[in-house]
Amino acid sequence: MVFEEIKKILEEQSDAKVFPLYLKAISEIYENNEELKDRIKDMGIMKVNFDISKANVVAHIETNIEVSISGGKGLYKYPDLTSVITEEIAKDAILRKSSVESLWTNGVMDGRIKISGNLGKAMKQMPNIDEGDEALCGYKSKEKMPENVKKIKDARDSGEWDIELFVTWLNATEETEGEFMKYLTKKYAKTVDTIRFNYKIPSAGIGAHYGQTVKRSLLSGEGKLDEPDFTIELSEEIAEELMHGKISLSAAYNAGYIEVEREHIGKLTAMDPFLRIASEELGIKM
């Protein structure tokens, strides 16, 4: 059901019975609203049910993240950041002499790494790249290891290396994409972002890249989700006030109208702009 159809129905009826339709409108609005696409980061990954028991109504909001990884030979045409590095830096990265974050920070400070582009955006991604690199060591059986992962593990075990292994290292990050996702989509759900890194090693004539493509999604509407993070129980009156923009979820919580465990207050508050913008776009009136 498209937004205009939802809006027409809610113009004619706006009581608690149509609360699921109101939530459905949020996912429709989200696709074309830049403010919400930016604010969805505050939600991270979550599954929330809304239960209006007296009206026999159940609805939900669910957010998720998909991340794909690319790494290997070749340069991006429009990178976020380009790092010109020495072979020593490449060796330390391959053999994991220190974390990626400290390696790059120290390399920039002592001049072994020359950078251009959005350093702030790059540094925000370093912690999850670090833990993603640790996923290279997550394979228990060498028989099941991707070829490039095995090469990097062998180098780290033996301490033997060559400069071409730098490209292999970036290829290995792509091969372990499934392992990377465990880190990128859970622990770093609020900060993981689309990035494009270029690496140049002039002394070896190497140009390579690492990238993350992040897609965030929001689904909402009628029905109950299995294993939600939490459930919000609403009275019919509070559900209607939410729809009409008369109260926010955080204000309803502060007033004692709804109960949520303290650990979920951040996600509760993060939903407020989505409900507010839905009420404004739908133009629901009392």
- Per-residue model confidence as pLDDT tens digits over 69-99: 899 999 999 999 999 999 999 999 999 888 8
pTM score:
0.82
In the block, which residue shows the tokens 């949520």?
260
Q: Is the pLDDT of residue 141 over 60?
A: no
pLDDT tens for each residue of 44-77: 999 999 999 999 999 999 999 988 889 999 999 9
Indicate the average pLDDT of the chain: 89
Strands 81-85 and 195-201 come out as parallel
CA 85 to chain centre: 29
Q: Where is average pLDDT lowest: 18-27, 39-48, 51-60, 132-141?
A: 132-141
Tokens, residue 93: 């990265």
Neighbour count for residue 71 (Cβ, 10 Å):
23
Distance between CA atoms of residues 31 and 21, nearest Å: 16
Binned at pLDDT 50, 70 and 90, residue 138 comes out as: low
pLDDT digits (tens, 9 = 90+) for 232-241: 999 999 999 9
Cα–Cα distance, 153 to 145 (Å, whole number): 10
- According to DSSP, the residues that pair with 82 across neighbouring strands are 116, 198
User: Percent of the chain, pLDDT > 90?
Assistant: 60
Nearest to 275, CA basis, from 7, 29, 5: 29
| pLDDT reading at 111 higher than 70 | yes
- Reported as a single tens digit per residue, the pLDDT across 153-178 is 899 989 999 999 999 999 888 887 76
What pLDDT, on the 0 to 100 scale, is given for residue 286? 46
User: What number is the average pLDDT over the span 111-140?
Assistant: 79
- The CATH number corresponding to 3-63+221-282 among 3.60.15.10, 2.40.30.30, 3.30.1050.10, 3.30.565.10 equals 3.30.1050.10
Domain residue ranges in the chain: 3-63+221-282, 67-216
Three-point CA angle 130, 77, 179, nearest 5°: 25
- Binned at pLDDT 50, 70 and 90, residue 122 comes out as confident
